Amino acid sequence: MTVASMFRRMAGAARLDAATYEEVEADKTATWPAVFIAVVSSLAITIGDFHRGDTDVVPRFLAGLAGWIVWLFFIWLVGVKMIPEPETRSDLGELIRTTGFGSTPGLFRILGLIPIVGWLIVVGAWLWTLAAMVMAVRQALDYKSLGRAILVCVVGFTGQLAVMYLQVLLLRAATT
């Protein structure tokens, strides 16, 4: 995959273009570029959500990447194994590719550093990323129903939050 085609696909993913997600889903050479986009997006989110006095930037960055991986697992579990549609044929590689490119709007969260309006940009980029993830899941799992893709994303996100909460509890227990 060339850099130009990666940027073209990122733009298509950001526009929520279904054909772009189908193209990425089918292209096995897009796996590492998708991971790269997810890593850079996590970095942009970590920087854009930076608060003065924060010293835990690296752990937050790593937690963001781990969160994406956990979310992928829950999306696969729920979407492929628990409530698939008859046409659903997907594997983890397809989900990595589509959700990796779907994380493109997260790059804009670096603009959270802008004084006064940065938080508005962060909220907008978060909602945009959520919409892109729904589109990524819909296309990767070959869903006809947008509602089912939304449900899978919500259940997956809830599972991710539960895992993160348990991690925080375990970390607190280990440090006290």
- Other Cβ atoms within 10 Å of 154 Cβ, number: 13
| Rama region for 140: left / alpha / beta (φ>0; ψ in -120 to 50; rest) | alpha
The answer on pLDDT for 101 being more than 70 is yes
> What is the pLDDT averaged over residues 42-46?
89
pLDDT tens digits, residue range 50-87? 766 666 778 878 888 888 898 899 999 999 999 999 98
pLDDT at position 53 is: 65
pLDDT in tens, 108-161: 999 998 989 999 999 999 999 999 999 999 999 999 989 999 999 999 989 888
In the predicted model, what is the mean pLDDT of residues 10-29? 97
For the chain, the domains span 3-175
Cα dihedral 132, 138, 144, 147 in deg (nearest 10): -70
132 touches 15 (CB < 8 A):
no
For the record, the structure tokens of 149 come out as 């893709």
Give the DSSP letter string of 30-57.
GHHHHHHHHHHHHHHHHHHT--TT---H
Residue 7 has pLDDT above 90, yes or no: yes
pLDDT class of 23 with cuts at 50, 70, 90: very high
